[in-house]
A and B are shown apart, each in its own frame.
Chain A
Amino acid sequence: MATEAVGGEAPTLFLRKATGLVRGWSVRDSLIYACLATNFVTLGIYEFTFAGPAFPKGQLLTSVVISGIWVSFLVIAYAGLIVTIPRAGGDYVWQTRILGSGIGFVMAATGWWFILWLWAPIYGNILSVQFFQPIWATLKWTWPGGGYAWFGTNNGIFIVTVITIVLAGFLVSLGMGGYARIQKWCFIGGLIGFAVVVGLLLFNSHASFISSFNYEAQHMFGVKNAYAATNQAAVKAGYTTSPFGFGPLGPTMLLVPAMMFFILWPNWGATLYGEIRGASDFRRVFSGMFIGLWITVILTVIFFLLIAKTVGWGFYQNLNSLDYNATPQFGIWPYPFLFAGWLVHNTAFQVILLLVLSLWFFGWVGTLFLSSTRVIFAAAFDRVLPDRAAEVSEKRKVPFYSLVLMLVPAVILGAIYAYSTTFRTYTLDATLVIAVTYLFSAIAVVLLPFIKKDLWRASPASRIKLFGVPIVPVAGWITIALLVYNLVEWLWNDNYFVNSHDSLLYMAAMYVLAIVIFVVARIVRRRQGIDLGLINKEIPVE
């Protein structure tokens, strides 16, 4: 038998050649996943349109940096969970093992399954405003009726949502291998597209932007002197923007819960980590998520600085405020990259730039259902869901039933989203429900050293210390603080549109549904002679 000595001249352990002993994996792959999950383009820029006008006295730049620092502790806490219990299924597995089957199922079902039905129309809307509308407008296509404006109609939103759902389902059916390849090239392409935007905004002056904006707005939308008109319209609507800067802290902190819409997801790939040697390497797991998160923060800061330099901060906020008040300039969502492309008066260039930047969407859209299927599988293997939920088709290896559990409700909610403007305001519910799931994982991190002492003692996470204090549980506490702060703001501050009666009812219904499924599963299985309470009950050692 071949062996390997670890530790140089005085080895500290010997490994014999056996199944599963593999080399450490590359941080690059998980970094790409984390960076695309905290998608600065699809989610970030989309959110800034809402956040800036909703909290005009706050500073987006400062809030993104504060959010990045705060979410870094969530990354530490999740890295601790991943290396302690490296299992596919993530939050579901950790919470069922540490907090109990019921809590684990309810939190995972709501946060990784039901709420993603609502994310489907959100993804669809992003595809509409960042891809279809700007391309149609640039090419001046008039089909379907109304041209680009059609994508903003109820029918347009619904059709694009269905396209998104089909696309996400297709990427899941490709499997992680195929999707990872697509993701990698989309990430590279997306970065090239962003680099072009950086070049355009860096090497052009504020004056040339105003001139280009006015020229293209007239050429494309027939609006004269559009730059000044935008500012006047915002002032007329009563909106006053703050100059670009760093404070004040109070109103800026109110932006933090809004920033979570895009920055809370560096751990999105956590459900995908299997039991491999590398998953026990705290530094590697942490680095993938942390670097991915901070690439997002840095890209955002670069974007803000260039907006302030070339586009004009007040103008950018004014554009956003018009959209926020449902009177968007040109009747189109204010996509900054569309306007950056206007610095080159060439339609082909503008379209190609939009296509390249759309790779940020196409590399990201698969994340919509990928993790959900893992959670559904894990619950089916625990007999909480019917066995069929974990079935994979023989020929094409498609997780047919779990996809149905995602796709059908997503289409129904997509329709409600498209045809009910009230329902569209529940966008931040989508963040809130997942944050609640994260909160329970953060609680699990804090309780881990007390509830699963041996597991914690054996974990590489227990040895990561600062001044003799284990960092991971401390990071768990800081993550709890972050999530509780956000939840309090979402639930008590009207500006996030979360605390309305209907919105709360919608979220409560999801938790009730999860509880009902779990209780029914317990009853049905008990009648079948299966005690689900045994699943995580520990066998005595002595």
Chain B
Amino acid sequence: MKIFFATDIHGSEVCWRKFLNSAAFYKADMVILGGDVTGKVMVPIVEQGGRWKVTVRGQEYTLETAEELDNIKKQIRNAGSYPAVVSPDELKHLSQEEGAVDRRFTVEMTESLDRWLDMADGKLRGGEIPCILNGGNDDIWEIDDIIEQSPCVSFAEGKLLDLDGFSLVSMGWTNPTPWDTFREAPEPELAAKIEALASQVPDMSRAIFNFHAPPYGTGLDEAPALDSTLRPIHGGAVMKPVGSKAVRDAIMQHQPMLSVHGHIHESRAVKKMGRTLAMNPGSVYGDGVLQGAVIDLNAKKGKVQRYLLVNG
């Protein structure tokens, strides 16, 4: 069985489209997206007098036609941001009223995800190609129900899924970050969540851990070291491990066949941990490139036959 695994596309529409095409492109039997589906940036497009004004990547544009507006929206979405068309009064309201931006972010994120799932229906032949999604620490809770209700995508968060004889357990939670995001928990709590999932696995030699947080100190979790003001030290060249010790301990204890991770975009790496092949394909969603891993599983022997990290 051939799996394509990608992660952390953070709202990039071009990466989502590529993800939907990845099964056909890599001749994969199944595609898995390992969390952090939603974006981090919203770009206001201010409508006034039949024209629109927007600043994209530092450059100000005045848009005269609906076609120009569509083009700029596409550009913004491809970069992983949400275009939000607003009136000058709405913009003022957003910037002044407590919680207004949060509410608008939620609207944009959920609407965007709805649209993405509609696209998936066509591309994945109505569910014929299995597509699995789970949350990441940056994903708001509202996305869970939306994915759960999709007819062509399986929501894997906190579940054991059977994939033609292989067991997939998924978790989008991570150890605490400096940003205090949605799905974070202290290590002991994380260990308990993992144990609850792992205990359901019938045969670890045919198990796949799909945990958003990478295992601590394995090279899959190297992020730029930050000072107390969240400023990277030495231009981001000084790296330090920031992964989860609970995830590392669980892998070492249970020794699943494969363990796939994300969360730390710059830490594209593969590591053999005892019997387990652990990998983080990383993410460069901002470039519109979909990094991922093409993984061949040997159903008979219950092992990873071969793998390749790709920059699609």
Contacts and interface: CB of A to CB of B under 8 A. Distances in A.
Nearest to A452: B287
Say whether chain A's binding surface is mostly helix, strand, loop, or mixed.
loop
A145 interface: no
Interface in B102-141: 102, 104-105, 137-138, 140
A23 B17 contact: no
A388 to B, nearest CB: 9
A455 B78 CA distance: 11
Interface in B262-309: 263, 265-266, 268-272, 282, 284, 286-290, 294, 296, 305-309
Contact of B42 (A14, A22, A280, A460): A14
B233 A29 contact: yes
Contacts of A529: 296, 305-306
A459 B190 CA distance: 38
Contacts of A1: 102, 105, 140, 182
Given A13-B41, A25-B233, A276-B224, A535 B55 contact: no
Contacts of B234: 25, 29-30, 33, 176-177, 180
Contacts of A85: 284, 287
A187 to B, nearest CB: 12
Contact of B55 (A13, A20, A377): A13
Given A177-B238, A273-B236, A22 B40 contact: no
Contacts of A22: 224, 226, 230-232
A222 B180 CA distance: 71
Contact of A180 (B231, B237, B284): B237
Interface in A348-395: 377, 381-383, 387, 390-392, 394
B229 A23 contact: yes
Contacts of A457: 75
B153 interface: no
Contacts of B91: 10-11
Contacts of A381: 268-270, 309
Interface stretch (B20-28, B164-172, B193-201): B20-28
Contacts of B230: 21-23
B181 interface: yes
Nearest to B308: A530
B236 A387 contact: no
Interface string A459-493: 01001000000000000000000000000000000
Interface string A497-525: 00000000000000000000000000000
B235 A21 contact: no
A5 B231 contact: no
B181 to A, nearest CB: 6
B65 interface: no
Contacts of B237: 29-30, 33, 176, 180, 269, 272-274
Given A30-B235, A180-B233, A274 B224 contact: yes
Given A18-B179, A276-B266, A534-B310, A541 B236 contact: no
A245 interface: no
Contacts, number: 221
Contacts of B233: 25, 29, 177, 180
Interface residues of B, number: 83
Given A1-B140, A180-B238, A273-B236, A455 B308 contact: no
Nearest to B6: A539
Given A13-B55, A530-B306, A275 B265 contact: yes
Contact of B43 (A12, A390, A530): A12
B21 A539 contact: yes
Contacts of B307: 530
B62 interface: no
B21 A274 contact: no
B225 interface: yes
Contacts of A177: 225, 233-234, 238-240
A11 B44 contact: yes
Interface in B35-85: 36, 40-44, 46, 54-55, 57-60, 75, 78-79, 81
A540 interface: yes
Given A1-B105, A13-B43, A276-B236, A458 B79 contact: yes
Interface in A12-44: 12-26, 29-30, 33
Contacts of B149: none
Contacts of B104: 14
Contact of A276 (B25, B232, B290): B232
Interface string B231-266: 111111111100000000000000000000001011
Interface string A396-413: 010000000000000000
B310 to A, nearest CB: 6
Interface string B6-24: 0000100010011001100
B309 A15 contact: no
A528 B306 contact: yes
Given A13-B81, A17-B180, A272 B294 contact: no
Given A12-B43, A276-B224, A535 B309 contact: yes
Contact of B17 (A17, A97, A458, A541): A541
B44 A12 contact: yes
B60 to A, nearest CB: 8
Contacts of A391: 271
Contacts of B226: 22
B188 interface: no
Contacts of B312: 537-539
A19 B231 contact: no
A374 to B, nearest CB: 10
A531 to B, nearest CB: 7
Given A25-B231, A540-B25, A534 B101 contact: no
Contact of B266 (A29, A88, A180, A530): A88
B308 A535 contact: yes
B44 A531 contact: no
A413 B260 CA distance: 41
- The CB with the most chain A CB atoms within 10 A, among B60, B94, B177, B219, is that of B219
A454 B232 contact: no
A238 interface: no
A534 B26 contact: yes
- The CB with the most chain A CB atoms within 10 A, among B17, B57, B75, is that of B57
Nearest to A377: B269
Contact of B235 (A25, A534, A537): A25
A391 B278 CA distance: 13
User: Which 10 A-B residue pairs are closest in the complex by CB-CB distance?
Assistant: A539-B312, A12-B55, A272-B237, A276-B236, A30-B235, A539-B18, A29-B234, A18-B40, A274-B266, A180-B234
Interface of A: 1, 3, 5, 7, 9-26, 29-30, 33, 84-85, 87-88, 97, 175-177, 180, 269, 272-276, 278-280, 288, 377, 381-383, 387, 390-392, 394, 397, 454-455, 457-458, 460, 463, 528-532, 534-542
22 contacts: A14-B44, A19-B36, A19-B137, A19-B179, A22-B224, A22-B231, A25-B233, A26-B235, A30-B235, A33-B234, A175-B238, A176-B239, A274-B266, A275-B266, A276-B236, A391-B271, A458-B79, A458-B286, A529-B306, A534-B26, A539-B21, A539-B25
Given A180-B233, A529-B305, A535-B309, 8 more contacts: A11-B94, A14-B104, A16-B41, A18-B179, A25-B236, A274-B266, A377-B269, A538-B18
